[in-house]
Amino acid sequence: MPVSVALAATLQLLLAATFVVIPVAAWRTGGRAQRAAEAEVARQGHAPGVLARHGIRFEERAPELALALGITVVVTALAGLNLAGAGRVLSWVLEPVIFLAVGFVTASQVFAVRYTEAAFAKSADPGVREIDARAVIAAASGGFPSWLRPLVLVRFGLATLGSVLVIILLSTPAADAYFS
């Protein structure tokens, strides 16, 4: 098996792993993070319900967990097919989807402060526009394991740059010979 195919499959398996670890961690600790964020909003003089009204949530819901696990199955299957010499075309089709869809969703997690600031800035309530989003996100982050944020950054890199790299690796001459 060419190194390029093995590297592509490894990138896919690493991405799949993040789709198990991150949602499970958020499922287990999201409530604590949500309470910490709401307490920070209350400390700033606002009702904790402000977060929900603006679509800001730190708790993982069952449908989100199921979607993440579904993505895990698809990406793991792609890696397995690539290792078996049969998944290149499917990877060429699905990696751009992963790049766009997963990259977009993960970007909102990577840039959580900006996302939260934008949500508050759009509020009709002038008081909400004054909430310190950075402090809210910092409070919520304290409710999650310390390793979660770096892993979110890794997932973003694997979903974006990693997807591009998978396509390149599966396009090498050695990969051509392997998949022929």
Q: How far is residue 111's CA from residue 27's CA, in Å, rounded to a whole number?
A: 20
Q: What share of the chain is helix, strand, coil (3-state, %, to 5)?
A: 80, 0, 20
In this prediction, residue 23 carries a pLDDT of 95
Distance of CA 106 to the CA centre of its chain: 3
In this prediction, residue 33 carries a pLDDT of 96
pLDDT exceeds cutoff 90 at 122: no
In this prediction, residue 171 carries a pLDDT of 95
Average pLDDT over residues 159-171: 96
In this prediction, residue 71 carries a pLDDT of 94
Percentage of the chain exceeding pLDDT 90: 74
Residues 6+ apart with CB under 8 A from 159: 15, 98, 99, 102, 103, 106
In this prediction, residue 124 carries a pLDDT of 87
pLDDT exceeds cutoff 90 at 106: no
Check residues 108 and 146 and name the one with the higher pLDDT: 146
Distance of CA 34 to the CA centre of its chain: 18
pLDDT exceeds cutoff 90 at 26: yes
Q: Which among 157, 106, 150, 115 has a CA at the least distance from the CA of 136?
A: 115
Any idea which residue has 């051509």 for tokens? Answer: 176
DSSP secondary structure of 22-33: HHHHHHHHHHHH
Q: How far is residue 107's CA from residue 115's CA, in Å, rounded to a whole number?
A: 9
Residues 6+ apart with CB under 8 A from 8: 79, 82, 91, 165, 166, 169, 170, 175
**Which tokens hold the place of 1?**
């098996």
pLDDT exceeds cutoff 90 at 25: yes
Average pLDDT over residues 145-153: 96
> Tens of pLDDT along 28-68?
999 999 999 999 999 999 988 888 888 889 999 999 999 99
- Within 10 angstroms of residue 54's Cβ, the number of other Cβ atoms is 17
pTM, two decimals, is: 0.90
Residues 6+ apart with CB under 8 A from 62: none
